[in-house]
Amino acid sequence: MKKLILSLAMVVAASTAFGQKKVVSSADRNFKKGDLEAAMNDIQAALESPETKDDPNTTLIKAKILTKMFEADEDMAASTVKTGKSALESFDKTMSMVGNDKNSKIGKEVYKEDMQGMPDNLRPFSKITLKNAAFNKALQAYEDDDYSMSYEFFNLISEIDPTDTTAHFNAGYLAYQELGKTEDAKKHFKALIEVPEYNKLNTYYFLIQIASSEDQDPEQAYKYVVAARMDFPEDKTLSEFEVQLLLQMNKMDEAMASVKEALKDDPNNSGLLLRYGYLLEQSGDLDGALEQYKKSVAVDPTFFEGNYYTGAIFLDRARAILAEVNNLSDDEWEVRAPKMAEEADNLYKESVPYFTKASELKPDNTEILEILYQIHTRLKNTSEAEKYNQRLITLLGPDWMER
């Protein structure tokens, strides 16, 4: 009797296991026929059974079903992304069940290439299929100006294949430039700078900009500059970044050394000349600063900052002289004031071309318009002063002087 009971138990167990395998087979058949809802119901039942839930083939079929669902879904929605992530989770679970061996039978199925144009019944619906489908959706969303969903699909690709530099860059770019998601952008850009063979110059630019602007962290930005210059020692923009960041950190001596070194290789860089002038101005060498500012304009007459800073030096000198005049004693005033006033007026005159050019470059800059109005009023250039008065009235209203 015991032997009979034992035999019957074995038969029941075998029948149960066989039955569950039939469910897996049914899921596979429905998958191949395109009845994905029935296939998913079958595979879910198989995944709940102790006899088949630990079989990597079961989770592989689930991954394939979800991949086919993901590809077929025409909605550019979070639910579509969720389906794609579920497919990825199933592929990853499948691989873990075979020790992540890509050369195993299951591993080869997971990473099987998907040939374009093949009929569905011959396609593998592998992890490669999932990646290609996500890429197509990312491009479609981008063309539709749906940058949020385009980012989500590029981000999904980077999770499917963490070595895909195109996915990381596009995801980082969209996150930063279009969506303002700096933390997401940093995640992707940081992944890129870890790829040895990748040309990461633009990636460094973005990381420097994020650290310097959004994160207000010049020290981190400077670290990126130092790392970038090791890879791209000839890049002139990185030299400018380095000087600018050293200035932000008030490391004047280091900034001075850096800008001088950079100017050896790039003597006609208007931005570097401007920063050199600024460093000289901060050190009290106004003559040296003026020389560098004027050089920056000579190199590039349309350089707004160069024109503005040059005009400002002349303006500050003129104002300093007039302030000194106001502090003269009566006796000194009689002797020195006329000559000092003439010297101040000459400095005002020298500033005019630079401020005028700066105003042409930024015609709506009311600060410069006010400066030009004040200078021409001081020099008794009535018609010029009125011209700037009218422009200020247009921009700020008739009571602009009372602001």
Domains of the chain: 55-187 (1.25.40), 199-266 (1.25.40.10)
Would you call 111 helix, strand, or coil by DSSP? coil
pLDDT one-digit tens code per residue, 301-313: 999 999 999 999 9
What per-residue confidence (pLDDT) applies to 6?
Answer: 43
Gyration radius of the chain's alpha carbons:
35
d(CA 372, CA 385): 7
Would you call 311 helix, strand, or coil by DSSP? helix
d(CA 50, CA 54): 7
> How many other CB atoms sit within 10 Å of the CB of residue 215?
15
124 contacts 109 by C-beta, under 8 angstroms: yes
Comparing CA positions, the residue from 357, 261, 385, 373 lying closest to residue 301 is 357
Dihedral, CA of residue 11, residue 13, residue 17 and residue 18, to nearest 10: 10
Tokens, residue 135: 């890429």
What's the pTM?
0.69
Would you call 34 helix, strand, or coil by DSSP? coil
- Phi, psi at residue 76, to the nearest 5°? -90, 80
153 contacts 134 by C-beta, under 8 angstroms: yes
Q: Is 333 exposed, middle or buried (0-12, 13-18, 19+ CB in 10 A)?
A: middle
Task: Quote the DSSP letter at residue 120.
Answer: G
Q: In what helix (H) or strand (E) does residue 361 lie, and over which residues does it extend?
A: helix 330-361
d(CA 344, CA 215): 44
What per-residue confidence (pLDDT) applies to 21?
Answer: 65
Using CA atoms, how far residue 385 sits from 245, 343, 350, 365, 367, in Å, is 39, 21, 16, 16, 14
Tokens, residue 30: 């429905």
Task: Quote the DSSP letter at residue 121.
Answer: G
Tokens, residue 212: 């310097």
What per-residue confidence (pLDDT) applies to 244?
Answer: 83
19 contacts 52 by C-beta, under 8 angstroms: no
Digit-by-digit pLDDT tens for the chain (403 residues) are: 444 444 544 444 444 444 456 777 887 787 887 778 888 888 898 888 888 889 999 999 999 999 999 999 999 999 999 999 999 999 999 999 999 999 999 999 999 999 877 888 888 999 999 999 999 999 999 999 999 999 999 999 999 999 999 999 999 999 999 999 999 999 999 999 999 999 999 999 999 999 999 999 999 999 999 899 888 877 878 878 888 888 888 888 888 898 898 899 899 999 889 889 988 888 889 999 999 999 999 999 999 999 999 999 999 999 999 999 888 888 888 889 899 999 999 999 999 999 999 999 999 999 999 999 999 999 999 999 999 999 999 999 999 988 7
Q: Which residues, 6+ apart, have CB-to-CB distance to 399 below 8 Å?
A: none
Q: Identify the sign of the CA torsion 295, 300, 305, 307.
A: positive
What per-residue confidence (pLDDT) applies to 68?
Answer: 93
Comparing CA positions, the residue from 157, 61, 52 lying closest to residue 106 is 61
Q: In what helix (H) or strand (E) does residue 110 lie, and over which residues does it extend?
A: helix 105-110
Comparing CA positions, the residue from 243, 287, 283 lying closest to residue 263 is 243
